[in-house]
Amino acid sequence: MRLLLVGVFLILYYIFSIPMFIVGWIIGKINPSLKPRFAQHLIANAFRVILCISGVKVTVRGKENILQGQAALYTFNHRSFFDILVGYTTGPRPMGFVSKKELDHIPMITRWMKYMHCLFLDRSDIRQGMKTILEGAELLKSGHSIFIAPEGTRNHEEKLLPFHNASFKMADKAGCPVVPVAMNNNDAIFEQHLPWIHKAHVIVEYCQPLYMDQMTREEKKHIGETVRDILQQTVDRNASLV
């Protein structure tokens, strides 16, 4: 039933989003910096409805670590498609996700993602990957936060996968903080019982920021391991709360 309700909502919201897309285009012409905020406001509200329909309770810890007025690279452990919904409904504004290149070909969804300055990473092309990193660094410098999953793919095991250090180059080049974001139980909503959606209690914790501009070269070299350890410890600690 929940899957059906979510499907009906998505169809109705798709219809609603067409005129809103035009409104966003007009806003972008008048005030380009307002367009991603407008888009994220609409998408975040839609995601809240989907989480509600799905019977998902979200507990947010460490809200004080969501930086206000300062862009940051928010790095999360990737467990579910619902990670994006949890991120957009709890994270800072403006903010975009780093997504797989394959999503760059889905009509309308891609357009809204580009409105929110999401980035599409092609891991098979080193040159294009570096171009994406540079684009991300410029977005961070302009005050636009970015969510990224350094594991590179969804992982349902207790232990996190090794992190890709290239994920942190955006923050290094932009001189902005890195905020680890630990997510628990997101895959209990959908992935654990495909194709059905089940109610679940998920925990998201925003950990203390790490300031790369205050790190030594050696500390930057191991930033991936540092963030992974923080996330692993936080995920393990919050496992009993779901």
Structural domains of the chain in order of their starting residue, each with its CATH number: 56-241 (3.40.1130.10)
pLDDT average, residue stretch 145-163: 91
Q: Which of 222, 235, 237, 206 has its CA nearest to residue 75? A: 206
- Considering 7-21, 92-106, 192-206, the range whose residues carry the highest mean pLDDT is 192-206
Residue 108 has pLDDT above 70, yes or no: no
Q: Determine if the pTM surpasses 0.85.
A: yes
**What is the average pLDDT across 11-26?**
90
Residue with tokens 């680890």: 180
Instruction: Give 135's pLDDT tier (boundaries 50, 70, 90).
Output: very high
pLDDT value of residue 213: 87
How far apart, in whole angstroms, are the C-alpha atoms of residue 116 and residue 34? 10
Bridge partners of residue 145, in order along the sequence: 95
> How high does pLDDT run on average in the chain?
91
Residues counted in the chain: 242
